[in-house]
Amino acid sequence: MKKAFWSNSKIAILGGGSFGTVLANIAAQNCAAVTMYVRAEDQARAMNSTRMNPNYVKDLVLDSKIKAVSHYEKVFEQPLDLILFALPSHATREQAKIVAPYLKGSEMILHATKGIEEQSLKRISTVLAEELPVVRIGAISGPNLAGEIAKGEPAATVVASAFDDVIAAGEAVLSTPRFRVYTAHDLIGVEWGGTLKNIFAIASGILDSVGFGWNTRSLLLSRGLAEMVRFGVAMGAQSETFLGLAGMGDLIATCSSNQSRNFRVGYHLAKGETLDAVLAELGQVAEGVRTTRIVYEFARERGIEMPITESVYKIIQGQWSVEQGVQHLMTRPQVQDEWV
């Protein structure tokens, strides 16, 4: 029953970035039709004619069921069963507002954004719930570097939602023999896990740049995880979630891969470049820089202890040198903590 329904389903993916494209290709294996919304008309046209999206994912041939469009009317021409948001955090609300009138209410919503809304500190699923006439919303998160998935290397993700309906949809649509779906109800934990790890990716880049070895790196990862748990629990998440793919898993992938934008920000900062110079060179916004500031300020106000975040923040702001940041962490008073 379930399989039959989803293999006849029609889904849409909003956002033509690297992860969106990869997800579209996966979903096409399980669904009847996949529509991809991309902003630029020529990108859509190129994707439809060349069956490639080379600016984002090299060497990935798009499945024949995928159709790229650049107008929302076209996306919603036919009733959809699942809509996947793969947009940067700052664009989500604005796009959701535009999409809202098209929705019928029976669609399931998933998003793959690893970030939060800047001013309000709201999670993306909350933003979507505020803007869309739908409440069955979930998130996809995990160690999912798009390039590796595109090559067909084995990988897994977490689909989280309060609703089993959404989880079942995510499972049916995204499972393939090379891509495994785990499920969770702790949406708060999964979304915060994906967001918070970016802070430590910057820190990891800094350590790599300075040339510290594996002891230091794993020190960062484990104490970073402790900070993620502390913050996440304060936001209403369950600590266990952070031990899984969407927490520890994602943290390891992002902190070890030098492809990560956040990692590169840290790497160049530690070489003595200013933040503006680094960001300009990167050409894209690194979510981690914003996340660090928001999380740092929030945690300080609320008395959540996050020393690594504090150091990263001060290094980013140019207030501390790397050495000062490291010294701050290593010479803190001894603490008692469950997560040692």
CA dihedral 159, 160, 164, 169 (to 10 degrees): -30
Greatest alpha-carbon span in the chain: 62
- The residues that bridge with 232 in the sheet, in sequence order, are none
Of 166 and 316, CB closest to other proteins = 166
Cα 159–chain centre separation? 12
- Find the shortest distance in angstroms from Cβ 306 to other proteins: 14
Of residues 123-182, those binding other proteins (CB under 8 A): 129-136, 162-165
Reading phi first (left if > 0) and then psi (alpha if -120 to 50, else beta), residue 154 is in beta
| Both tokens assigned to 75 | 């996306």
Cα 140–chain centre separation? 8
Cβ neighbours around 62 below 10 Å, total: 21
Of residues 176-215, those binding other proteins (CB under 8 A): 188
- Find the shortest distance in angstroms from Cβ 281 to other proteins: 34
Mind spelling out the 3-state secondary structure of 286-300?
Answer: CHHHHHHHHHHHHHH
Cβ neighbours around 33 below 10 Å, total: 16
Of 167 and 286, CB closest to other proteins = 167
- Find the shortest distance in angstroms from Cβ 204 to other proteins: 26
Residue 121 interacting with other proteins (CB under 8 A): yes
Residue 271 interacting with other proteins (CB under 8 A): no
Of 133 and 318, CB closest to other proteins = 133
Segment contacting other proteins by CB under 8 A, of 51-59, 101-109, 240-248, 318-326: 101-109
- 197 catalytically annotated: yes
Separation between Cα atoms, residue 330 and residue 216, nearest integer Å: 11
Residue 93 interacting with other proteins (CB under 8 A): no
Residue 58 interacting with other proteins (CB under 8 A): no
Residue ranges in contact with other proteins by CB under 8 A:
1-2, 5, 97, 100-101, 103-106, 120-122, 129-136, 162-165, 188, 234-236, 302
Catalytic residues: 197
